[in-house]
Chains A and B, each alone.
Chain A
Amino acid sequence: MTAAPVAIRRGGLFRSVRRSPLARNRAAVGGLIILLPIVIGTVAPWLLASFDPNAQDLSQSLRFPSAEHFLGTDKLGRDVWSRIVFGAQPTLLGAVVVVVISGLVGVPLGLVAGYYGGKVDALIMRVLDALLAFPALLLAILVVATFGRGLGTVVVALGVIYVPAMARLIRSVTLVQRTLTYVDAGRALGFSDGRILFRHILPNLVAAVVVQSTIDLAYAILDIAALSFLGLGQQPPDPDWGSMLADGRAYLLQNAWPALSAGFAIMLAVISFNLVGDGLRSQLDPRERER
């Protein structure tokens, strides 16, 4: 904690970043490099794309890659590269919201269950286990088919479905923290349970939450893409990787570029979060660090 500012003073921010343990993990660096254009596509897609992603030009239908159209065009003559770039936003932002929802609900639940134990714990975990009995994707399909297609429903449904995993993790880490001396000390000083939970225990769980969230982001991207591949997510004409892949399947034999581009976009996004997640885990998880 105290080493970082010293390093900045001596060698500047760049050097301290380069020397940080995460930067020495080549896989994690690779993940971050793949992630960079995806993040740019999410926050400022117009920097990377030269065409309006929804602009049709039927005279340019299903063109192969050219200097003008980097990845060719789809059935309706829309620029595939621009649609890939603009398609990053629904998927990535959606995945972030899924993880935020699961954290906002799952972290307090896990904290309370782990800290109080007994009946509160039994009740919370019983309900969460029942939710885990459903195969996740199946429940998501069911919920989205019920409450209406669209990215919003998909994201909320997945957010709720991701709660049990987060809550279980937080509970198990809290069980360990609860036995440590600083919690006893807090109690002896007469701190309220809320203060001990959120001001003292929670900061010690940040590492676990960060690692779990990064891995969950990878899963959320896969699930969002799967639901939109099934036609339940982002609705046409707006660009989205899952629905682009589903559309491209229809004319796969004439021009495979649209489908393959969308598929590789999903895969690269998932790979990048998996790599960063693994890297973070090997830095933050004390069990892994010993190896």
Chain B
Amino acid sequence: MVAYALRRLLGLVPVLFFVSFVTFGLIRLAPGDPVLIVLGGKKVDPATAAVLREQFGLVGDPFSQYIAWLGRALSGDLGESFRLRQDVVSLIVDRLPLTLELIGLSMLIAIAVGVPLGVLQAHRRNSVIDYAGSLLALIGLSAPVYFSAIVGVLVFAVWLGWVPAFGAGSDPLDQLHHLLLPAAALALGTIALTSRMTRSAMIEALTSDYIEAARAKGLPERTILVKHALRNALIPVVTVTSLQVGFLLVGSVLVETTLGLGGLGSLITDAIQNRDYPVIQATVLLLTVAFSILNLATDLVYGVIDPRIRLG
């Protein structure tokens, strides 16, 4: 198990080199001089531009630039944002908590709604509840996350006035209040997947022999549902739901941009719009690392929950 995890982690290393190289190459292929973009299109004398270019590490051929960037990155220096003139690492540290809070809250909502919904649907199969749940899941899977966010603002902030429409709040509790709507919008897709998974896993579990045995023993229905069926049905559910963190991460980019939240997601889109090389490079790499590690973690979690699965 440990050996397997280590081998997978090692396998990640070349992938990350590939990702950083592709990102580096891509942003440098883009037309337009970042120095001129940073200066806002103003006329600059060549001497100033040259100084800036030197400062930004934009001299020499792209490949040696990449090697230089890589050397600094490996020692923990991800450079300075061209536009915000701030250290990229501290920029990310500033922005990350909001995104993590958003994703964590989303995950919580998704599990708190999705799992009970799926259990209920499986328990009352082909009932009105079952069909309503399936319809909700279909909508959750099909609604673009930025549209859910906009509808959410319109209904819950503007018409009902339950939650604030924009911004991220100041103190932690206020922030939670502000993030409720974005997190719920982000959670819709995951709720859909979680409830679908729970439903089909529960239906399969409920038809198995050990449930028959539990019924024959005269156990109460609730015990059968929760302690016997759900516990076995939970493996695929946990796997798929934890995989969703990666997709929530990507979805958060859209939600943050839509609702004007200053997290990691809007940092990325701003950086891409403004050709802020060091920020793009660092954030894309960070998201890719997170995405890959999450995939690995999912496989490992799977192995822990179900001892029948031998990783090797």
A133: which of B19, B26, B139 is its contact (CB, 8 Å)? B19
Residues A225 and B144 in contact in the complex (CB < 8 Å), given A138-B250, A267-B139, A271-B138: yes
User: In the complex, how many angstroms separate the beta carbon of A260 from the nearest chain B beta carbon?
Assistant: 7
> Complex Cα distance A275/B142, Å?
10
* Interchain Cβ contacts within 8 Å, total number: 105
Asked if B27 contacts A142 (CB within 8 A), the reply is yes
B268 surroundings in chain A (CB, below 8 A): 138, 141
Asked if B150 contacts A249 (CB within 8 A), the reply is yes
> Complex Cα distance A218/B292, Å?
25
Chain B residue nearest to A143 (CB atoms) is: B26
A146 surroundings in chain B (CB, below 8 A): 26-27, 29-30
Interface of B, helix, strand, loop or mixed by DSSP: helix
Which stretch (A82-90, A115-123, A173-181, A251-259) binds chain B?
Answer: A251-259
A270 surroundings in chain B (CB, below 8 A): 141-144
B4 within 8 A of A: no
B88 surroundings in chain A (CB, below 8 A): none
Chain A interface residue bracket vs B: 35 or more
**1/0 per residue B114-131: CB within 8 Å of A?**
000000000000000000
Chain B residue nearest to A141 (CB atoms) is: B272
B23 within 8 A of A: yes
Q: Which of B253-311 contact A (CB under 8 A)?
A: 253-254, 257-258, 268-269, 272-273, 280, 284, 287-288, 291-292
B82 surroundings in chain A (CB, below 8 A): none
B257: which of A147, A218, A230, A260 is its contact (CB, 8 Å)? A230
A225 surroundings in chain B (CB, below 8 A): 144
Chain B residue nearest to A265 (CB atoms) is: B147
User: In the complex, how many angstroms separate the beta carbon of A49 from the nearest chain B beta carbon?
Assistant: 22
Chain A residue nearest to B259 (CB atoms) is: A249
Asked if B146 contacts A226 (CB within 8 A), the reply is yes
Q: Which of A226-269 contact B (CB under 8 A)?
A: 226, 229-230, 245, 249, 252-253, 256, 259-260, 263, 266-267
A145: which of B30, B143, B246, B249 is its contact (CB, 8 Å)? B30
A207 within 8 A of B: no
A–B complex contacts, Cβ < 8 Å, 19 sampled: A129-B15, A133-B291, A134-B288, A135-B249, A135-B288, A136-B250, A138-B287, A141-B253, A142-B27, A229-B144, A229-B254, A245-B150, A253-B158, A260-B154, A263-B144, A266-B147, A267-B139, A270-B144, A271-B138
A130-B14, A134-B22, A142-B27 are known; give 19 further A-B pairs, CB within 8 A: A129-B15, A133-B16, A133-B18, A135-B250, A137-B250, A141-B272, A145-B30, A145-B272, A145-B273, A226-B144, A229-B258, A252-B154, A252-B158, A263-B144, A267-B139, A267-B144, A270-B141, A270-B144, A271-B139
Chain A residues near B (Cβ < 8 Å): 129-130, 133-138, 141-143, 145-148, 218, 222, 225-226, 229-230, 245, 249, 252-253, 256, 259-260, 263, 266-267, 270-271, 274-275
